[in-house]
A and B are shown apart, each in its own frame.
Chain A
Amino acid sequence: MASRFPFIVIGPRALSVRPAAVLLASTMIAIFAVATGCIREDDLTLEQRAHQLYSQLMCPVCDAQTIDGSNAPIAQSMRLKVRELLDDGKTNSEIKEYFVLRSPEGEAILAAPEGGGFNLLAWIVPFFITFGGIGIALLTIRNLRRSNARSAEFAAAGSGSATDQNDLAKYLAQVDRDLGISPIPAAGKAGPGTPSPDEKADS
């Protein structure tokens, strides 16, 4: 996905909000899509499916452990039961349903919430968090770019909010610089003192 992007750039300005946003969003969607649809039950041996199920069922007597990792007797017998049901030709979801219906823990026997209704929230919210986060980041960048000119003026005029303390800080920084104490010159004022590999030749 990402592989195309240096080549579609025509100029630095050409890549405005939309292509960048579309690019990131489509990358994430592609990853999500493949992630959810990649492993099919038929491709796996019964034993592989058994281990898959072990890590999807909680051990009822342990604290926050699946039966996969537990040595408790009940976990052992649950593992045997899973294997038995698989040998009977049951599907993964049938087996999970079996445990949900029969164990006193109910749905809590599953290591991750499943099904529709309220449980869907568990899976939808991450999408909102992720894409909301990326959206906010991109919007912020855009807003910061818009306010570019204005804030440059403010900075030049020594902005209204500058209090005595701020002036003092600036003055002290100036003194530091004059004395040669400051390791890094105030960013951007005169650019870095020594040519560093940080500043690429092209920038």
Chain B
Amino acid sequence: MADLGVMALLLGMALSTYSVVGSVVGVKTGMPALVVSARRALYMTMVTAFVASGALIAAFVQNEFTIKYVAEHSNSVMDRAFVWVAFYSGNEGSLLYIVLALSIMSALAIWFAPRRMERSMPWTIAVLAVVQLFYFFVLIFFASPFELLDVIPEEGRGINPLLTHPGMFSHPPMLMGGLIAITIPFAFASGALISGNYGDDWVDVARVSAILAWGVLGAGMLIGAWWAYTILGWGGYWGWDPIENVALMPWLVLTAFIHSIMVQKRRGMFRMWNVALLNIAFVLAQLGMFINRGGPVVSVHSFASSALGIIFLSFMLLSLLFAFGLFLWRMPQLKSDRAMESFMSREAAFLVNNFLFLAVMGVTLWGVVFPLFSDLARDVSVSVSAPYFDRANGPILLGIVLMMGVGPLLPWRKSSARSLRRWFAWPLVIAVIVVVVLVALGVKRPIAILSFGVVAFVAASIMEEWWRGTVARHRSGDKWARAWWRLVNGNRPRHGGYIVHLSILMLGLGIIGTNFYQQRTDGALALGESLVIDNYRIEYVDSDSSSRPDRIAQWAEMSIYRIDPADYATEISLARAQGSDSFRLKDSTRRPNDRLIDQIQPWHGFYPDFNMASVRSGIRSTIVEDLYVIPRDFLSDGRISIAVSINPLAWWLWASGPFFILGTMVALWPQPAVERRPVRTEKQIRALATGDL
């Protein structure tokens, strides 16, 4: 299998080289046949990537421990379903996965690119092939997954236990796929620029491929957050870790891009700006690859001991030079068709929103590199972690959410005072009502209340538009549901966008709730003891354990009771006096108003081969709040050490996922039939014209 894999990789490298050279030479010397063969060569690289990946997967399935990568990332007792995860769980395999994903996406992109792109396609293909060539090159010379071992081990090391979670079947491939997918819109834009095809022909394909990359990357991050929440056992879901940041940054820039590309599509403006955004997104994606593989900053995600840093850094700098060199070269040709008419217009709002996205990106990048600056400038190490990013980015993110309500309500070009009043009055009233109600209810934390007000404003603005559109269609005879559906169908990019906006609001609710109102405590419980926090009593009822070749697992059975604080008044005041929000009860006899509401089984596993622990938290989730119990350790005296948190509105974080995907799909769905109706082939039209049907 190793030989087959290596051969496939070599062939892939040769083919992508041919594709670059063929495209460029073919188009320069005017040899269409060469250009066509270069394109076919790029299709063939997909086949070689498939063969190489198939070879590695087959080696995993057959437990070929002669191959170093297989021996280090799997063993014979491992559940076979995890072969897919093992495939990309290490540095080398993940690079192979990236080549596979890129070659499939490139082939699809070339195949589906519209005819009118024909003139710039050779250049687009050359750009795609260069990126593929780079990854083939790294795979062959620096990080071969098919390296053989001199001494064949009896058994493999097994898969990293942290990766044995359903989320891992999709999170890493989606993130890596999403990052590398940014190459596609970048290649279309670059191809158009190099060939001097300055029109807006590339806009549609770039928009569709950018939304795909953006959707995959976004969903991948969300799944990663869910994985962190349910398995990593630290109670959080987003740690502003350097690797998380480098995935977030290109996503933010893509978000800006898919908004401002609409301005180019509708108004012929922002051409330079859109090209620049794609360039930044692509370079940031390469920065992500660099930091992930031997970059200069520590992270929980990096592939350990990867010495590829310098190679990826060089490639990143090359892409930076290429992208912006090209941009500067072609800048004079990228003028807008039309000028801005008013500050109170959607294009103006989109521009402000774009800069806010770039601001979050810039602040995040600053936070990532600041430790390096500090090291260089004064030789003092500092850490820049979650508390910094929360504070520095939080306000800008709130500003973005606010713009999410403002932008779509503004019409293109300019707006009248009447339209502003008409569209903004209700959302503002509702936002004010929400704030007043929250204050009246005695909710604390002014920022959080302000944020809830902003979320309400945006939600109301979306509902208002749906309501008015639906009512108008209902009046003309449609039933309610059908009227709404026709409204959405009539302009899918817009209303798909609204669905995504709603999902972002749900995410926002979860972020506000968990960041501002989380309650935490920790303690150790013996069997039969309880921990009381807020309105919950958590009773440690039972424990069990099992031993498998690869792990020692222990889990606890815990009952959750809803309590009436009045029953526990003495204990509560005692705890308060000691500065605690929670207390331990030795005697778990039920008090009158205790009500059993749930059972949880926090689970703790230790993997001796990896010297690594993995936990599954016990979570009771409702739409109001999650009760979250992390089993930190099973102590030798039979007690269990737990960390408990109450995470308000955490449910909404995960509920946003389906809406995010749904909205993205609605926005991407090809234009409805109504608009396509007049499509006829040239032949048909001629036939119609000559009356010869």
A residues adjacent to B (C-beta < 8 A): 2-3, 5-7, 9-17, 20, 24, 27-28, 31-32, 34-36, 38-39, 45-48, 51, 55-56, 58, 62-66, 68-71, 79, 86-87, 105-113, 118-119, 121-123, 125-126, 129-130, 133-134, 136-138, 140-141, 144-145, 147-149, 151-152, 155, 159, 161, 163, 165-166, 169-170, 172-173, 176, 179-181, 183-184, 186-188, 194, 196-203
Contact = CB atoms under 8 A, between A and B. Distances in A.
A79 B299 CA distance: 22
A125 B382 contact: no
B47 interface: no
9 contacts: A28-B395, A46-B579, A64-B299, A86-B579, A118-B374, A130-B363, A133-B362, A144-B339, A148-B340
B366 A106 contact: no
Interface string B562-586: 0000000000000010111110000
B447 interface: yes
Nearest to A123: B392
B299 A203 contact: no
Nearest to B352: A137
Contacts of A200: 411, 415, 419, 423
Contact of A10 (B265, B417, B676): B417
Given A113-B384, A188-B267, A202-B411, 17 more contacts: A2-B406, A3-B431, A11-B416, A35-B394, A64-B298, A64-B300, A69-B235, A112-B383, A112-B387, A126-B362, A129-B366, A130-B356, A133-B356, A152-B339, A163-B196, A197-B469, A200-B423
Contacts of B398: 31
B470 to A, nearest CB: 10
Contacts of B79: none
A11 B428 CA distance: 19
Contact of B576 (A13, A45, A140): A45
Contact of A45 (B241, B344, B358, B580): B580
B254 to A, nearest CB: 17
Nearest to A108: B381
Contact of A202 (B232, B422, B431): B422
A47 B416 CA distance: 54
Contact of A166 (B198, B359, B415, B428): B198
B337 A188 contact: yes
Contacts of A145: 339-342
Given A69-B236, A161-B333, A63 B300 contact: yes
B351 interface: yes
Interface in B312-363: 332-333, 335-344, 348, 351-352, 354-356, 358-359, 362-363
Nearest to A155: B337
A6 B421 contact: yes
Given A55-B387, A133-B355, A144 B675 contact: no
A155 B381 contact: no
B299 to A, nearest CB: 5
Nearest to A203: B411
Given A6-B425, A166-B199, A183-B671, A70 B300 contact: no
Contact of A203 (B302, B333, B374, B414): B414
B368 to A, nearest CB: 11
Contact of B370 (A31, A65, A71, A122): A122
B678 interface: yes
Nearest to A137: B355
A140 B358 CA distance: 15
A24 B359 CA distance: 14
B685 interface: yes
B338 A196 contact: no
B161 interface: no
Interface string B536-577: 000000000000000000000000000000000000000010
A79 to B, nearest CB: 8
Interface stretch (B1-9, B69-77, B486-494): B486-494
B28 interface: no
Contacts of A118: 374, 377-378, 380
A186 B297 CA distance: 48
Interface residues of B, number: 125
A191 to B, nearest CB: 10
A202 B582 CA distance: 58
A121 B366 CA distance: 10
B268 interface: yes
A65 B383 CA distance: 10
B352 A179 contact: no
Interface string B645-683: 000000000000000000000000001001110111010
Interface of B: 116, 119, 196-199, 201, 232-236, 239, 241-242, 265-269, 297-300, 302, 332-333, 335-344, 348, 351-352, 354-356, 358-359, 362-363, 366-367, 370-371, 373-374, 377-378, 380-388, 391-396, 398-399, 402, 406, 411-425, 428, 431-432, 445-447, 450, 457, 465, 469, 487, 490-491, 494, 519-522, 576, 578-582, 613, 632-633, 671, 674-676, 678-680, 682, 685
B241 A64 contact: yes
A172 B297 CA distance: 51
A71 B383 contact: no
A111 B445 contact: no
Nearest to A196: B491
Contacts of B380: 106-107, 118
B538 to A, nearest CB: 16
B338 A15 contact: no
A188 B269 CA distance: 11
B388 A111 contact: yes
Contacts of B522: 79
A12 B415 contact: yes
Given A35-B394, A38-B445, A133-B359, A144 B388 contact: no
Given A2-B402, A110-B382, A194 B674 contact: yes
A175 B551 CA distance: 68
Nearest to B232: A69
A179 B232 CA distance: 58
Top-4 shortest CB links A-B: A69-B234, A46-B579, A202-B419, A180-B678
A173 B198 CA distance: 13
B233 to A, nearest CB: 7
Contacts of B336: 144, 151
Given A137-B354, A183-B676, A203-B419, A172 B116 contact: yes
Contacts of A63: 298-300, 302
Contacts of A112: 383-385, 387-388, 391
Contacts of B395: 28, 31-32, 35, 130
Contact of B579 (A3, A45, A79, A176): A45
A55 B465 CA distance: 42
Contacts of B300: 62-65
Contacts of A58: 383, 385
B446 A38 contact: yes
Nearest to B358: A133
B674 A6 contact: no
B246 to A, nearest CB: 13
A198 B340 contact: no
A156 B201 CA distance: 21
A134 B399 CA distance: 11
A108 B379 CA distance: 12
Contacts of A129: 359, 362-363, 366
Nearest to B408: A198
Give the most central of A5, A141, A166, A201: most B CB within 10 Å.
A141
